[in-house]
Structure 1
């Protein structure tokens, strides 16, 4: 890949039979919130960074007005004797070709670190501001559904109806060619706002699957703040609907026609 650069941070860590969690930006940033939270909670160590011309032509500016190129990165932490690999970052590809190339690269790296199963994490848009405490699943092998149902994942025929776009979907399809079991876990979200409450629902299910304990207090605080924003939006929408239902005030011209 001539247009992609990998910068390795740590080459000495040995990882075997690991689980990969993918949380890149997407609907409601649900998956990104979960993976970023795990990275912070378990002080995950960065393994490598990925820079690509498939990302938007953009730099990010920090609090010191210093810029950096957008990038994605692999991290790792160990809990209960289990190696967890995480893919997090700033962007997904801006082109279809870039999506396929980057997902192939992600899977190359996953195989390098002995990944035996993959969970891509995202949001399922409902178009409604009301929260639904449910996690929808899709898998690349039918026999994975029963074990995931035991942890609270729901499966609905042909849902998501429009398929799964981006890395969350492509990694499922492409990993099948590499005999890696993979599932996409999606928290229900409006699709309009960053959704920490949906991330909480998804993290609860994921914690059960991985058999790990995660402190979610930070996500809870962010969820409370978002609830206030949603409540204001709902109130504004209701006021708008009420105004639309009010009869128009008659003008003098209108009154002239009253018999």
Structure 2
């Protein structure tokens, strides 16, 4: 196995897709948000990404079958002809080392570019002081997106 391997399961043509990613982290906020979108939108699985840079363990299902940790890509076709489609990306774990972070993120972005993605939105949690007022924090490479 290469250190990063993407297995495409289905080929789909998208209309100006936006990639939305959420991975396990603080409170599982990003992963839960994207997993919820996959379920509500009934998005179809497009691909799986495996890497030797994930933690060295497996997951087991309720039958006792085990599988490697992975990242999953899902696609949703917007029924509105003028709307943009979505590529939803989530995974079982985050990469554990800096080199792996670059290799895995580069492969995610390569695949996204091949699908026509020109915008990436990431979701995640941010720890604040206890008792503070909840708020949304955003950052962008384009000031227009922050308005």
TM-score relative to the length of structure 1: 0.53
Alignment of 1:83-122 (within 5 A): 83-122=85-124
> Deviations for 1:38-76, whole angstroms, at most 9, x for unmatched residues?
111111101000000010111101111111111001101
Tell me the SS of whatever aligns to 2:85: strand
* Bigger-Rg structure (1/2): 1
CA distance in 2, matches of 1:132, 1:47: 38
Structure 2: segments with no counterpart, 5+ residues: none
Alignment of 1:14-163 (within 5 A): 14-79=13-78, 80-81=80-81, 82-128=84-130, 130=131, 132-146=133-147
The RMSD of aligned alpha carbons is 1.6
TM-score relative to the length of structure 2: 0.91
Tell me the SS of whatever aligns to 2:19: strand
CA distance in 2, matches of 1:27, 1:64: 29
CA drift of 1:127 comes to 4.0
Structure with the larger helix share: 1
Partner of 1:7: 7
Q: Is the 8 A contact 1:16 1:113 kept in 2?
A: no
Partner of 1:228: none
Higher relative contact order (CA 8 A, sep 6+): 2
Question: Kindly tell me: are residues 116 and 4 of structure 1, through their superposed partners in 2, closer, same or farther at Cα, counting changes over 3 Å?
Answer: same
CA drift of 1:141 comes to 2.5
Question: Kindly tell me: are residues 112 and 126 of structure 1, through their superposed partners in 2, closer, same or farther at Cα, counting changes over 3 Å?
Answer: same
> Deviations for 1:14-41, whole angstroms, at most 9, x for unmatched residues?
1131111001111111111110001111
Structure 1: segments with no counterpart, 5+ residues: 147-259
